[in-house]
A and B are shown apart, each in its own frame.
Chain A
Amino acid sequence: MQTPAHAGVFLFSPAMIYSLLVMSAPASGQGAMTAARFARAALARGHSVNRVFFLDAGVANGAAAAVYPQDEEDRLRPWVELAEQHGVELILCIASALKYGMLDEAEARRYEKPAATAHPAFTISGLGQLVDAAAAADRLVTFGG
């Protein structure tokens, strides 16, 4: 992590708050993994990432049961690490999540589906979470779309 630069007696910290909007599917193109790398790089430079909001095809990034090719980068683990090691909030848009079959325990029960399909590092919630994150962020960065 970078230390804040000193300017005279003042402590000058250029750290910014980022929100990410991810609309790229995990197994198509590079958008989603670029988003995860962006988040990691921002954190490594002392910035904060207040929330990653997954919308449309992006919600499939939370698929707990997806098995990616062994000789390729795992597309779930980078997100789980961001949540577990850095406390980054991962939110799946509920309207998109239902359409893509991404359910947590509560939604699986509500719609009488056999199992939860979203990884527990992800939370299923509404678009208000995107609006709220954007309002608190210095920068909102869109991936995909």
Chain B
Amino acid sequence: MAARKRLLLLIRHSPYGSSLARASLDVALAAAAFDQPLSLLFTGDGVLQLLPGQDSEALGVRNPGRLLASLPLYDIEQVYVDAEAAARYQLDLGAAPVTALALERQQIRELIESHEHLLGF
């Protein structure tokens, strides 16, 4: 593997509306497994992945909230959320399945600039 590049995964899809929601987390886990430094930024409808108390049993799909809760076990600690989008959905970030740091617009700009690769999901 060549020199490590910092990856930023931009997550824009709601948890049960698109398979891309799950795909983005799979990419995060794969990158972590290969020891690549990465950050996640939930934005737009993607912030709905941080909804507390998700129950997907009736849908017959895996619970992405549970997967999010396990991110720290994979050493994925750089988790951010677009403060504006979280406010729009009145999210209770204190009860989110994973601790996500809320960023304002200027901080998001700085976050993007501090990464070599940006993956938009």
A residues sitting closer than 8 Å to B (CB atoms) are 21, 23, 55-57, 95-96, 99, 126-128, 130-132, 134-137, 139-140, 142, 145
Q: Which residues of A contact B7 (CB under 8 A)?
A: 134
Which secondary structure dominates where chain B touches chain A?
A: mixed
Q: Which residues of B contact A132 (CB under 8 A)?
A: 1, 34
Task: Report, nearest first, the 4 A-B pairs whose CB atoms are least far apart.
Answer: A127-B30, A136-B2, A140-B117, A131-B34
Which secondary structure dominates where chain A touches chain B?
A: helix
Query: What would be 19 A-B contacts, judged by CB atoms less than 8 Å apart?
Result: A23-B121, A55-B27, A99-B19, A127-B29, A127-B30, A128-B30, A128-B33, A130-B27, A131-B30, A131-B31, A134-B5, A135-B1, A135-B36, A136-B1, A136-B2, A142-B119, A142-B120, A145-B12, A145-B20
B4 within 8 A of partner (CB): yes
| A140-B30 contact, Cβ under 8 Å, with A23-B23, A145-B20 | no
Q: CA separation between A99 and B13, bound complex, in Å?
A: 19
Interface size for B (C-beta < 8 A) is 24
Complex: chain B residue closest to A55, CB-CB: B23
B73 within 8 A of partner (CB): no
Q: Which chain B residues numbered 26 to 74 have a C-beta less than 8 Å away from chain A?
A: 26-27, 29-31, 33-34, 36
Complex: chain B residue closest to A100, CB-CB: B19
Q: CA separation between A56 and B120, bound complex, in Å?
A: 13
| A56-B19 contact, Cβ under 8 Å, with A21-B119, A135-B5, A140-B119 | yes
Residue of A96, A128, A137 touching B34 (CB-CB under 8 A)? A128
Q: How far is the CB of B83 from chain A (nearest CB, A)?
A: 22
Complex: chain A residue closest to B29, CB-CB: A127
Q: CA separation between A80 and B118, bound complex, in Å?
A: 27
Q: Which residues of A contact B23 (CB under 8 A)?
A: 23, 55-56, 96
Q: Which residues of B contact A96 (CB under 8 A)?
A: 23
